[in-house]
Amino acid sequence: MTEKTQNQMWGGRFAAGPDAIMEAINASIGFDKRMAAQDIAGSRAHAAMLAAQGIISDSDAAAIREGLLTVLSEIEGGTFAFSTALEDIHMNVEARLKELIGEPAGRLHTARSRNDQVATDFKLWVRDQLDAAEGGLVALLRALLGQAEAGADWVMPGFTHLQTAQPVTWGHHMMAYVEMFARDLSRVRDARARMNESPLGAAALAGTGFPIDRDLTAEALGFDRPSANSLDAVSDRDFALEFLGVASICAMHLSRFAEELVIWSSAQFRFVTLSDRFSTGSSIMPQKKNPDAAELIRAKVGRIMGANVGLMTVMKGLPLTYSKDMQEDKEQVFDAADNWMLALAAMEGMVRDMTANRDALAAAAGSGFSTATDLADWLVRELGLPFRDAHHITGALVAKAEAKGCDLPDLSLADMQEVNPDITDGVFGVLGVENSVNSRMSYGGTAPAQVRMQIDRWKERLT
C-alpha cells in the first residue's frame, strides 16, 4: 500500500483507497471550501487554546497559527490546490499545513474531531450571513421609510381580495412593509442570539480527556459561551434551519412586495415607475419595460423555502449524534443565503429608485366606490341608524351609481334621497377621498398624521 492509495488522515486501518464513486459521493470540498476562512479561524483559536493549556508547546502552536495564515492567503489568492481525495476543507487545510510546517501540523487535531470542527465552521459561516442579512434589512427599511416620508399623505386605493376597499395613503402602504421587514430583522437578531454557542471542544461526540478550555475558544471566536452538551453540539443543525426559516419568511415578504410592484408598474395600474436601472427591455416589443428584478425576487422564495424543506427532511430521522447525512446541510444553506442577500439588495435598489405616480394613485383612490364605508359611517353618525341598516342603504346607493355608470360622489342629492329621504348634502363631505383618509386617526390607521407618527418612531429606532 502506497501513501497515495491510503487516506493520509486515517490510512492506518485501511488496506485500500476508495472507489472513484465513493470519493465522488463522499467529497464535500467542492462546496465546503466556502468555509475556509471560518475553518482556519477555528483552528487558530484551537491551537492557541491547546498551548495555553499546556497540551501542545508554544512553539508548535506558533508554527501552526502562522502556517494557517499562509494557507488562508493561498486560498484567498487562488493558488491553493484543492484535492477531492482529501474530501473536505478540514483535511485540505490540515494537509497543506503539514506540507508547510511539517510535524507540528499533526498536533493540531488533538482534542477535537471534524464533528465539532464542521459544526463550528458552519455556525461561524451562518452567523456571518445573519449579520449580512441584518445589514440588508436595515438598508431596505431605510429605503421604505424614504418612500413613506415622501408620500405620507398621497392617497391610493387600499385593497382586500385585490378589489378596491377603502382609500389609504402611500405612506401607510410603505409602512406596512416596514412592519413586515422589521419583524424579519427581529427574527434575524433572535436567531443570532440563540445560535451563538460554541460547539468547539465537543470533539467527536463525548468531549475529550485533554484538559481543554472551551471558554477560551468560545471567546476567541466571538461566541457567547460553549454549548453545554457535547452530543447536542455535534448533532445540532437548528441554527441552519432557523436561518432558513427566517430567510423563508423574509423571502415570502419580498415576494409579496415584488408581486405588488409587478402589478403596480403595469400599464393598467401605473402606480409606480421602476427605474431603468432595475428594469429590462424586450427584444421584440419596443414599448416594453419589464420588471424583471421584481419577478426574480418573487421567484427566489421557491429555492429558499425549498432549502428549508430540504434540510428539515435531511435532519428529521437522524439518531444522535453526527451522521454523514449532515454534510448535505451546506449547499442548500449557501444557495439560500446567496439568493436571499441578492433579493434584499435588489429590492432595496428598486425601492430607492422607484417613483410613485401621485396622480395615478389619486385617480384610482377615488374610483371603485372606495368611500362607501365612509358613507355608511356617516348614516350611523348623522342619522343614528344601526350600522347594519346603514350598510344596506349604502349598498343600494352603490348599485344605483353602478347602474348610472358613475361613482358615489357623482350621485345627486335627489338620487340619494330616493334611497333614504333623510340624507342631506352634508354627506358629500365624507365622500371625498382626502376626508376619508384624514378621518382614520385610530392608532395604526391610514391618516397621514398617524403615518407620520409611525415614520418618526421607526426612524428613531433605526438610528
Q: Which residues bind ligand ARG (CB under 6 A)?
A: 28, 32, 88, 114-115, 118, 322, 324, 326-327
Q: How far is the CB of 216 from ligand ARG (least distance, A)?
A: 23
Q: In angstroms, rounded to a whole number, what is the distance separating the alpha carbons of residues 176 and 172?
A: 6
Known catalytic membership, residue 161: yes
Q: In angstroms, rounded to a whole number, what is the distance separating the alpha carbons of residues 65 and 44?
A: 5
Is the CB of 154 or the CB of 243 nearer to ligand ARG?
Answer: 243
Is the CB of 88 or the CB of 184 nearer to ligand ARG?
Answer: 88
- DSSP H helical ranges for 3-113: 20-26, 29-32, 36-52, 58-77, 89-101
- DSSP H helical ranges for 157-267: 170-195, 214-220, 230-235, 238-264
Q: How far is the CB of 248 from ligand ARG (least distance, A)?
A: 23
Q: How far is the CB of 18 from ligand ARG (least distance, A)?
A: 13
Q: In angstroms, rounded to a whole number, what is the distance separating the alpha carbons of residues 198 and 221?
A: 8
| C-alpha cell recorded at residue 405 | 355608470
Residue whose C-alpha is closest to residue 320's, from 207, 205, 202: 205
Residue 351's alpha-carbon distances to 93, 139, 236, 267, in angstroms, are 43, 10, 38, 19
DSSP 8-class letter at 17:
P
Is the CB of 112 or the CB of 172 nearer to ligand ARG?
Answer: 112
Q: How far is the CB of 321 from ligand ARG (least distance, A)?
A: 10
Residue whose C-alpha is closest to residue 356's, from 104, 85, 156: 156
Strands 163-169 and 272-273, how do they pair?
unpaired
Is the CB of 318 or the CB of 380 nearer to ligand ARG?
Answer: 318
Q: Which helix (H) or strand (E) holds 167?
A: strand 163-169
Residue 196's alpha-carbon distances to 313, 365, 437, in angstroms, are 24, 48, 46
Known catalytic membership, residue 113: no
Q: How far is the CB of 206 from ligand ARG (least distance, A)?
A: 13
Q: How far is the CB of 221 from ligand ARG (least distance, A)?
A: 18
Is the CB of 115 or the CB of 248 nearer to ligand ARG?
Answer: 115
The catalytically annotated residue of 57, 59, 73, 282 is 282
3-class secondary structure, 169: strand
| C-alpha cell recorded at residue 400 | 344605483
3-class secondary structure, 163: strand
Is the CB of 65 or the CB of 90 nearer to ligand ARG?
Answer: 90
DSSP string, 257-288: HHHHHHHHTSTTT--EE--GGG-EE-SS-TT-
Q: How far is the CB of 8 from ligand ARG (least distance, A)?
A: 15
Is the CB of 38 or the CB of 164 nearer to ligand ARG?
Answer: 38
Enzyme catalytic residues: 161, 282
